[in-house]
Each structure stands twice: as C-alpha cells, then as structure tokens.
C-alpha cells in the first residue's frame, strides 16, 4: 500500500489550475517553462488521483479536493480483509484454565468463543482476571459461563473498511473486534463464522505502514 505523495512541481500545477482554470496543457507548460511532453506524466498522475479534471478542448479544472481528502479517501478504501489477523478461538466447553493458558501462549488480549462453528461469545483479559481472583474452580468451569454472549458482540465483515472497524473499536472501547462470515445453520438461522480479528495493534501497524512509505 502506497500513500499518495505529490512532488513540489505537482503541487505547483495544482495551484496554477486553481488560479487559472480552465487552463490547457499548453498554457501550463508555458507558465512552468516546460514542454507539454515533460508535463504529461504529472498531469496524468493528478487526473488519475482525482486532483484535477480534464475536459477535452476545454482544459484542466481543479476537482475541489485537498491533498488531505485524498489521504482520507485512501484510508477508507482499505478493507478489513487487507489488515485482519488470525483470531484465537475456543469452544464454549473449553475450561477457563485452558483458555487462560491459551491467552498467554498466543499473547492476545481477547479469546473468541464458538459453538458448533458459530461465534457465540467473547472473553477479554479483564474477564479472566475477575474470575481468577475469586474462589472459582477455573480448572472445571467452562469458558461459556463467563463470556459475553451474542447478540451483544460487535463484529465486522471482510468487505467493511478499516475506518469502519476503528470507529467500532473506539465507540465500544474494546481492544479487538472479530471479523466474521455469515452462514445459515441447519435450522436456517443466520450465524457468523469467525475468520479473523482487527485489533488496535492491527490499526497501529496500518498507520506505521502508511507513514513509512
């Protein structure tokens, strides 16, 4: 993924078009003391990125977008499927003890719970701490007894944007969100299969990848 970074000449072209629109490529070349051939690659980039609009026999117009708008559109074009990572999933019958062991072995903050292949709940590190400090038999207690249950679980789909995912993370004040795929069970009821997760770590990595380009 490559963030759009305009050159100083491309920025100068944008300002000239904003000031003199409509303006032809010949007129732009004259103002920049360049040939039309040398100018053509810059104009191609600017029109393809929607910064400029080219109208035959008329000239170039400024599209009305700011450079920040281009970055905004780029972020919204990134799909959940592009950034999701694998999720730790356990069955409802798994014990709290085994789930805690898995939590630390995989170094995650959340475990997703399934029943017959469908998302049924979620357990966070805080949930495990609360149950562990009490007088509970975590070796025999099933994780299904302490999880937050559907339908009170926030989720996203592969085709949702990364922006949609981060909005849900912030709005619901959670560390990660499951990525799901809908399917029908044997009774024809809609269920959701867990295919991954998007966490605050995923979003931080996305920001890092965009900024280092």
CATH of region 8-77: 1.10.10.10
Give the mean pLDDT of 170-195: 93
Distances (CA, A) of 49 to 24, 41, 65, 190: 18, 12, 10, 40
The SS3 of residue 55 is strand
Q: Residue 199 and residue 193: Cα distance in Å, rounded?
A: 18
Give φ, ψ of 161 to 5 degrees. Answer: -80, 155
Confidence (pLDDT) at 173 = 86
Token code pair at residue 154: 């926030």
- pLDDT > 80? residue 49: no
Q: What is the pLDDT of residues 87-98, one digit of tens each?
A: 999 999 999 999
- Under the banding of pLDDT at 50, 70 and 90, the label for residue 55 is confident
Confidence (pLDDT) at 27 = 92
Strands 118-124 and 148-149: antiparallel
Domain(s) labelled CATH 1.10.10.10 in the chain stretch across: 8-77
Which CATH number fits the domain 80-212, given the four candidates 3.10.580.10, 3.40.50.300, 3.40.50.2020, 1.10.10.60?
Answer: 3.10.580.10
- pLDDT > 60? residue 70: no
Confidence (pLDDT) at 99 = 95
Token code pair at residue 106: 């995989």
Q: What is the pLDDT of residues 163-181, one digit of tens each?
A: 889 889 888 889 999 999 9
Give the mean pLDDT of 51-79: 74
- pLDDT > 50? residue 2: no
Domain(s) labelled CATH 3.10.580.10 in the chain stretch across: 80-212
């Amino acid at each position: 993924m490559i963030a759009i970074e305009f050159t100083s000449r491309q920025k100068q072209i944008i300002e000239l078009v904003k000031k003199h629109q409509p303006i032809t490529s010949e007129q732009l070349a004259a103002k920049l003391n360049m040939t039309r051939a040398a100018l053509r690659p810059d104009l191609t980039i600017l029109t393809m990125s929607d910064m400029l609009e080219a109208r035959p026999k008329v000239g170039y117009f400024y599209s009305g977008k700011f450079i920040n708008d281009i970055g905004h559109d780029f972020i919204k074009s990134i799909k959940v499927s592009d950034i999701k990572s694998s999720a730790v999933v356990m069955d409802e019958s798994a014990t709290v003890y085994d789930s805690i062991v898995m939590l630390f072995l995989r170094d995650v903050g959340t475990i997703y719970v399934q029943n017959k292949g469908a998302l049924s709940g979620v357990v966070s590190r805080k949930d495990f701490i609360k149950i562990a400090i009490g007088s509970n038999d975590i070796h025999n207690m099933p994780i299904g007894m302490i999880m937050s249950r559907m339908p009170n679980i926030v989720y996203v789909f592969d085709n949702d944007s990364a922006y949609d995912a981060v909005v849900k993370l912030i709005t619901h004040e959670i560390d990660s969100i499951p990525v799901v795929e809908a399917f029908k069970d044997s009774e024809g009821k809609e269920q959701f299969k867990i295919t991954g997760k998007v966490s605050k770590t995923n979003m931080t990595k996305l920001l890092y990848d965009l900024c280092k380009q």
